[in-house]
């Protein structure tokens, strides 16, 4: 048991170190961009107002395009998707499942314990009513058809605390 605790503590230490590293480099990168933009604006003061407006509009357009490309890459990144799922699974492992089960109980009553494809579920293990295949949902998500048989009806299984 202490080995698991030591592994979790090591994981959290590494995760915090990684977040600190990202924060430091991302902020440094943003500061560099802002400083360069200031230098360009100072240089642009000697330009006619129309040229400055055109520069600002082009800059806004470029930032918008960069953001949209970045969001598209993030959305379709298999690596980031798996990383996200792994993070959620780590949270599931350290969660007090009895508390989560109580929180989800009201939702079970509303659905009369039967969920369908397209329904949203917060957390739990669903069992397909057609083939009894189970799938673990580690965070709020939309239920999809069963991967094994294409079934559309599921029952939430009880969590083991």
DSSP per-residue string spanning 5-66? HHHHHHHHHHHHHHHHHHHHHHHHHHHHHHHHHHHHHHHHTTS-HHHHHHHHHHHHHHHHHH
Going by pLDDT thresholds of 50, 70 and 90, the confidence category of residue 53 is: confident
Q: 159, 96 in Cβ contact below 8 A?
A: no
Q: What is the pLDDT of residue 71?
A: 77
Q: How confident is the model at residue 100 (pLDDT cuts 50, 70, 90)?
A: low
Question: Which helix or strand (DSSP H or E) is residue 3 part of?
Answer: helix 2-44
pLDDT of residue 96: 58
**What pLDDT is recorded for position 159?**
56
What's residue 152's pLDDT? 92
pLDDT tops 70 at residue 124: yes
- List, in sequence order, the alpha helices (H) in 45-156: 49-75, 78-94, 97-110
Backbone angles phi, psi at 157, to 5 degrees: -85, 155
């Amino acid at each position: 048991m202490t080995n698991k605790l030591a592994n979790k503590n090591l994981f959290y230490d590494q995760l915090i170190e990684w977040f600190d590293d990202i924060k430091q480099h991302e902020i440094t990168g943003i500061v560099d961009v802002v400083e360069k933009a200031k230098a360009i604006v100072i240089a642009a003061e000697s330009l006619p107002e129309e040229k400055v407006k055109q520069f600002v509009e082009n800059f806004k357009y470029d930032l918008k395009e960069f953001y949209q490309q970045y969001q598209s890459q993030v959305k379709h990144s298999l690596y980031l998707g798996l990383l996200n799922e792994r993070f959620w699974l780590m949270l599931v492992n350290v969660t007090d499942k009895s508390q989560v089960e109580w929180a989800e109980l009201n939702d079970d009553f509303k659905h009369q314990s039967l969920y369908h494809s397209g329904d949203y579920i917060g957390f739990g293990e669903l069992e397909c009513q057609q083939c009894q295949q189970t799938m673990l949902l580690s965070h709020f998500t939309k239920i999809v058809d069963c991967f094994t048989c294409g079934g559309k009806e599921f029952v939430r299984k009880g969590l083991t605390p």
